Amino acid sequence: MYAFEIERPATIEEAVRALSAEEAQPLAGGQTLIPTLKQRLAMPSVLVSLTGISGLRGIRTDEGGQLCIGASTTHAEVAAGAGVFPGLATMAGRIGDPAVRNRGTMGGSLANNDPSACYPAAALGAGATIVTDRREIAADDFFQGMFDTALDEGEIITEVRFPVPAASAYAKFEQPASRFALVGAFVARFPGGVRVAITGASEGGVFRWAEAEEALSRDFTASALEGVSVPSGDMIGDLHGTPEYRAHLVAIMTRRAVTAAA
């Protein structure tokens, strides 16, 4: 590590001002940023800690029935407090280990958009809205590729609003060392149809699996996915698995998620 300044704003407005400084970078749970700093892969001159802003924390249900979660809410808090959305609560309870779950935050995970992270699949699979200090962004427009999002420089996620589906579940094939998803599938059934989001598999990051959504909207059972598959051409290939292996896991994890949800 190296010397840097740290700012601890108490309000969103103070945080926005602090992030306007040259080479300033926001610090949420730090589960990605701190290891990156240790390896000197990032060298900001100022870290702006968001953990002291009370308005960025908490779980509530709004008048429209959406589950609204503050960006600095930890994985452990989501697991304990999102009971009206079992698929999301269960997913949060399986992220990393207890240390990660008690430090990592939903907003930090979404802003980082790691291609193997769990929350992007939940947000995209549920059709969530990502609220920032400037605007509201639909999940379908938010994720723009590996480690890439629609956030502008200095823009802060403040809240994530989830429509609560009639049924939902997340199935993850874990990379055993990191506990990230080698492949993860989030399914959510709404009155108007089914959404399916896949993480960990594609070189383009999290994505919706349209063919599975069409099949499951007609018949929300695992058997509806027989013969439905994703091409392996865009899948990640590394020491943990070939593109063909990941494409196979996409189908397997989606069927498991549907079975769990149904």
- In this structure, what CATH number is given to the domain that contains residue 84? 3.30.465.10
What does the pLDDT look like over 29-57, one tens digit per residue?
887 777 777 777 777 888 888 988 989 99
Q: 248-262, pLDDT tens digit by residue?
A: 999 999 999 999 998
Residue 245 lies in a domain: yes
Tell me: pLDDT of 1 over 60.
no
Count H helices and E strands in the chain, helices first.
10, 14
Same domain, 113 and 81: yes
Residues 251 and 194 in one domain: yes
Residue 54 belongs to some domain of the structure: no
Mean pLDDT of 231-248: 95
Taking the mean position of all CA atoms in its chain, how far away is CA 188?
Answer: 15
Structural domains of the chain, count? 3
Instruction: Note down the domain range covering 126.
Output: 59-162
Residue 81 falls within a domain, yes or no? yes
| Lowest-confidence pick of 22-36, 101-115, 202-216 | 22-36
Task: Output the domain CATH number for residue 11.
Answer: 3.30.43.10
Domain termination site, one of 132, 162, 192:
162
Mean pLDDT of all residues belonging to the chain: 94
Tokens at 178, concatenated: 């990191």
Point out which residues pair with 143 in neighbouring strands.
Answer: 149
Tell me the pLDDT tens digit for each residue of 167-184: 999 999 998 888 889 999
Is residue 64 included in any domain, yes or no? Answer: yes
pLDDT tens across 134-160, in order? 999 999 999 999 999 999 999 999 999
Q: Which residues pair with 74 in a beta bridge?
A: 105
pLDDT higher than 80, residue 86: yes
CA distance 136 to 138: 7
Is residue 196 a contact partner of residue 214, using CB atoms and an 8 Å limit?
no
Q: How confident is the model at residue 2 (pLDDT cuts 50, 70, 90)?
A: low
In DSSP terms, 130 is beta-bridged to 137, 160
- Widest pairwise Cα distance in the chain: 57
Alpha carbons 99 and 181: distance in angstroms, whole number: 18
Does the residue 119 lie in any domain? yes
- Of the chain, the percentage scoring pLDDT greater than 70 comes to 99
Same domain, 72 and 154: yes
Q: Are residues 173 and 157 in the same domain?
A: no
Q: Which of 119, 138, 162 represents a domain boundary (last residue)?
A: 162
Sorted by sequence, the CB contacts under 8 Å of residue 177 that are 6+ apart come out as none
